[in-house]
Amino acid sequence: MSWRIQRDSDRRHLLPQSRPTDGKMGYSPGGKSCRLYGLEYMLESDAIMESVGTPTERDAAMAPDRKRRLILASPRGFCAGVERAIDIVNLALDTYGKPLYVRREIVHNVCVVSELRTRGVAFVEELEEVPEGSRIIFSAHGVSPEVRRAAAARRLKVIDATCPLVMKVHSEADRYAREGFTIILIGHADHDEVIGTIGEAPLAIKVLGRAEDVDRLSVPDPEKVAYLTQTTLSLDDTRQMISRLRARFPHIQGPPSDDICYATQNRQHAVKELARRVQLVLVVGSSNSSNSRRLVEVAVNAGVRAHLIGAADELRLSWFENAWCIGLTAGASVPERLVEEVIGRLRELGFPEPEHSGGIVEDVQFALPPDLVRDSRACSPPAFQELAPARAR
């Protein structure tokens, strides 16, 4: 059974996660109490007391003789491509007003999309949902040439928020296809980024999702094979697949520089370092975020327990058994305020102020689309004035 902590005035209650709550549930006179992390909790029933265990049992499981610690991974959260994409949407909304359409989720984070939707942004799955002549933003994950042609046919005013590092992979796919190569695209076939890359050369690209599938690959000319990768993959898994590909196709070519983006690599390295110091890693991120899920996998492969949470209210007390030192990180599409909310919830559970692990300092910035910058300057919205000068070039 999983648990959810709920505050009612200055009381705290342990409730089964499956039980609906409205934030106003009162104290049950027949309830019992126990102490966790030095806080008093009211237990709604004997069944819950049995599942949680007695205070003594629970305190023993939590190793109270050990000092609790919370360590933040660095870097974590927003990368330059995500910041750019969100800036583009906000700036376009301030510059052009509504209606403003975005094809698919601008980035894979439920909170970010919800906030933009509240501001009046309309998210659509396909261009057919957009009235002809309207303004449309392509997401950070990129689109295929077919989508671009469809937008032109509907006379849509396009603003492209594709991450420049994804555009690099698209360019490489187009080049290899024109040179007659079969392209092995390492990635997840159902991910928006991979779908867009396939569209650059649909007849030349084969998607490889698992290392064990390498031996089943069939190519017209084993001497003309190249590989590319999705930008948000696990570094370790990708290296394994590339190694298998090189063994199968000794003349295989790869991109001049690594396709896995700097932010993905940095966050995975930070989690590996974190895993050496903690018993549990919490990753803040949405379930449809590839890079967030990879962070969980990296932690687990390093030998520690790990959980993906979309928000602070998804924390489960059962996760903290035998875990007195907790690591916290966030995927590249996660705003820092979600991390701060998790820290606040952990503080309620008795964890101290977080320690910072140190790590790589990222200073990458991607320029905004020139046409959007020009139009924004013409109307001088407040949002444009708040952008860093380097981002407005």
Dihedral, CA atoms, 241, 361, 329, 298, nearest 10 degrees? 20
Cα 109-114-117 angle, rounded to 5 deg: 125
User: Has 57 been annotated as catalytic?
Assistant: no
The sign of the dihedral angle between the CA atoms of 238, 367, 192, 337 is positive
For 47, other C-beta atoms within 10 Å of its C-beta total 11
CA distance 331 to 292: 4
Q: Which of 24, 43, 76, 11 is nearest to 333 (CA)?
A: 76
For 328, other C-beta atoms within 10 Å of its C-beta total 24
* Residue for token pair 């994409």: 85
Provide the pairing of β-strand 135-138 with 182-186: unpaired
Tokens of 72: 């933040």
**C-alpha dist (Å) from residue 138 to 124, 315, 342:** 10, 33, 31
CA distance 364 to 159: 21
Query: Tell me, what DSSP letter sits at residue 91?
Result: H
Sheet holding 355-356, edge to edge: 305-309, 280-284, 325-330, 69-72, 355-356
Which one is catalytic: 44, 105, 172, 193? 193
Q: Which residues of 162-185 are buried (b: 16+ CB within 10 A; e: fewer)?
A: bbebbebbbebbbebbeeebbbbb
Q: What are the catalytic residues? A: 193
